[in-house]
């Protein structure tokens, strides 16, 4: 008999394929070696940890959505797409991330219960400015904010400088 026979040998998760000539031989009995036991790791996640992970995912989405609006024009009362006011941009970004917020800056600040400090702000937090909390933006991380500034301007990402720190009047973390 002529031809090739393919033989596969597996051990410790690796396989070797070998080819050789067909030989007439007495039937052989196959023996199976026990495979090494697989290691299974189980991680227990608390409800709080799950909420935080979900909030972080939504925050990242809200920031990405806000960033896609950079260059859109400002329009008082604008809720997008294409034109925004500050609370319309912030609320619209979080709405796209699955969190419904009220319409105005003051309503949003009152409705979101998790308040954060200037130094405690993380990506996705909403920052509020001026005494009556009349302006807001989406914190983009690393000292930057995305906002719809004012009439005649466009949505932009800015570095938070001393002016904004002096006029800071609170921040909230939606989605918790």
Tens-digit pLDDT profile for residues 119-176: 999 999 999 999 999 999 999 999 999 999 999 999 999 999 999 999 999 999 999 8
State the architecture of 47-172 in CATH terms: Alpha-Beta Complex (3.90)
Q: Would you say residue 66 has pLDDT above 70?
A: yes
Structural contact between residues 9 and 16, judged by C-beta atoms closer than 8 angstroms: yes
Q: Would you say residue 45 has pLDDT above 90?
A: no
Structural contact between residues 169 and 109, judged by C-beta atoms closer than 8 angstroms: no
Q: Give one DSSP letter per residue of 120-159, joined into a string.
A: T--TTPEEEETTTT-EEEEEEETTEEEE--STT-B-EEEE
C-alpha dihedral over 74, 76, 68, 101, to 10 degrees? 160
C-alpha dihedral over 151, 104, 155, 117, to 10 degrees? 120
Alpha carbons 98 and 55: distance in angstroms, whole number? 10
Q: Is there a catalytic annotation at residue 113?
A: no
pLDDT at 97: 98
CA 166 to chain centre: 29
pTM comes to 0.76
Where along the chain do its domains lie?
47-172
Q: Would you say residue 30 has pLDDT above 90?
A: no
Which residue among the candidates 86, 113, 142, 169 is catalytic per the annotation? 86
Which residue among the candidates 113, 142, 147, 169 is catalytic per the annotation? 147
Task: Indicate the pLDDT class of residue 40, thresholds 50, 70 and 90.
Answer: confident
Which residue among the candidates 113, 135, 142, 169 is catalytic per the annotation? 135
Q: Is there a catalytic annotation at residue 147?
A: yes
pLDDT at 57: 98
C-alpha dihedral over 50, 54, 55, 61, to 10 degrees? 160
Rounded average pLDDT over 15-44? 60
Q: Report CA torsion sign: 44, 50, 53, 58.
A: positive
Structure tokens at 56: 């972080």
């Amino acid at each position: 008999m002529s031809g090739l026979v393919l033989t596969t040998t597996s051990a410790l998760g690796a396989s070797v394929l070998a080819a050789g000539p067909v030989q007439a031989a007495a039937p052989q009995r196959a023996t199976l070696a026990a495979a090494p036991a697989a290691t299974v790791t189980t991680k227990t996640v608390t409800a709080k940890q799950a909420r935080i992970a979900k909030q972080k995912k939504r925050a990242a989405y809200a920031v990405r959505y806000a960033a896609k609006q950079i260059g859109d024009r400002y329009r008082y009362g604008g809720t997008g797409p294409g034109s925004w006011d500050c609370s319309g941009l912030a609320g619209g970004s979080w709405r796209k991330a699955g969190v419904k917020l009220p319409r105005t800056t003051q309503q949003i600040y009152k409705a979101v219960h998790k308040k954060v400090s200037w130094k405690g702000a993380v990506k996705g937090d909403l920052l509020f400015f001026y005494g009556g909390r009349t302006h807001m933006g989406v914190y983009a991380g690393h000292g930057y904010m995305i906002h719809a500034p004012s009439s005649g301007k466009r949505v932009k990402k800015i570095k938070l400088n001393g002016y904004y720190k002096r006029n800071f009047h609170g921040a909230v973390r939606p989605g918790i």
